[in-house]
Amino acid sequence: MTPRSVALAPDLATCRILNGMWQVSGAHGRIEPGAALQAMAAYVEDGFTTWDLADHYGPAEDLVGEFRRRWAGVHGQPALAPLQFFTKWVPRPGAMPRRLVEEAVATSRRRMGMETLDLLQFHWWDYADSRYLEALAHLADLREAGHLRHLALTNFDTEHVGVILDRGVPIVSNQVQFSLVDRRPEACMAPFCRERGVHLLAYGTVCGGLLSERFLGQPEPRASALDTVSLQKYKRMVDTWGGWALFQELLAALRDVAGRHGVGIATVAVRWVLDRPAVAGAIVGTRLGLTDHRAESARVFDVKLDDEDHARIAPVLAKSQDLLHRIGDCGDEYR
């Protein structure tokens, strides 16, 4: 059985499957707060203790704050210690005075009800504006002051992760898109991160739900049938990767592998990503109160892919487009 957690730093662990909260931002269906909070409790009770969110994911930080208050009220304040809440700061490029950075961090701390943030993941839209280095310097100071335990990145490419590390900014992880469809991190990012001691947190591991039995053997869906922004986003990625016919070959291969292990296609897809070098965790989206994949996610820890499994998948992957050349390095699709 694979360990369920890994240390991003000596004082910061993460469950290797993180609960992604992008789905509460409003573009995946209406989330009812009461049902969402009940679902959060169920995830934690089943051992999924790490939450990935952001300042701009609608009410995500507020939900975390309310959940923490309720959880401590029922189980006591010490019961919060085994839980992790990783948020993001995604500012508009521009001047980054210390006051602005402090206010952003203070807002997340207030909303989440945390004196010290577990992990703040920083994103920057425009590399031509080098003031991201000023923001990171201020964040590093706030880390020293105890406002956050650790600092991380989101969707930075390999070159700029290197620039940041060479400036002496202590980065523990970089969150990037990584899946059987998007294998760009294998080219540059993962080897570099292994060398420099930076972990990867992978999102898009099930392509918004496309990597599942639901789409196996189905005709190419029209845009109107893709009812979440995740499905729309990752369908565009599939189109760039190789198209729907090749994607059906991939789903068929994954079905065969999944059948050998008595699990579902999504379980195999997540397991494949977790086995990649430098990957500490995979973020699986949670439509809290609407859908529940806890049982399927739990089975990821029991699956071990062998040479026969990889031999079934690899020939399909070999037919796909090189997304590194089509799109660029990790995060380049956002710039």
The answer, yes or no, to whether residue 2 has pLDDT greater than 80, is no
pLDDT one-digit tens code per residue, 106-117: 999 999 999 999
Torsions phi, psi of 178, nearest 5? Answer: -155, 120
Q: Are 135 and 122 in contact, with CB atoms under 8 Å apart?
A: yes
Residues of the chain above pLDDT 90, percent = 91
| Bridge partners for 51 per DSSP | 19, 85
| Bridge partners for 13 per DSSP | 7
pTM for the complete prediction? 0.96
Rounded to an integer, the average pLDDT of 69-76 is: 98
**Which CATH superfamily includes the segment(s) 13-209+277-304?**
NADP-dependent oxidoreductase domain (3.20.20.100)
pLDDT one-digit tens code per residue, 9-42: 999 999 999 999 998 877 666 778 999 999 999 9
pLDDT one-digit tens code per residue, 245-278: 999 999 999 999 999 999 999 999 999 999 999 9
Residue 72 DSSP symbol: H
**Measuring CA to CA, which residue among 104, 250, 254 is closest to residue 181?**
250
| pLDDT of 242 | 98
The answer, yes or no, to whether residue 227 has pLDDT greater than 90, is no
| pLDDT of 1 | 63
| pLDDT of 27 | 65
Identify the three-state secondary structure at position 159: helix
| pLDDT of 293 | 86
Torsions phi, psi of 200, nearest 5? Answer: -110, 135
| pLDDT of 138 | 98
Alpha carbons 55 and 89: distance in angstroms, whole number:
6
The amino acid at 248? Q
pLDDT one-digit tens code per residue, 135-147: 999 999 999 999 9
- Contacts of residue 260, Cβ cutoff 8 Å, sequence gap at least 6: 308, 309
| pLDDT of 290 | 78
Q: How far apart are the first and last CA of the chain?
A: 40
Alpha carbons 305 and 257: distance in angstroms, whole number:
8
Secondary element (H or E) of residue 247: helix 244-261
| Bridge partners for 6 per DSSP | 14
Rounded to an integer, the average pLDDT of 79-88 is: 98
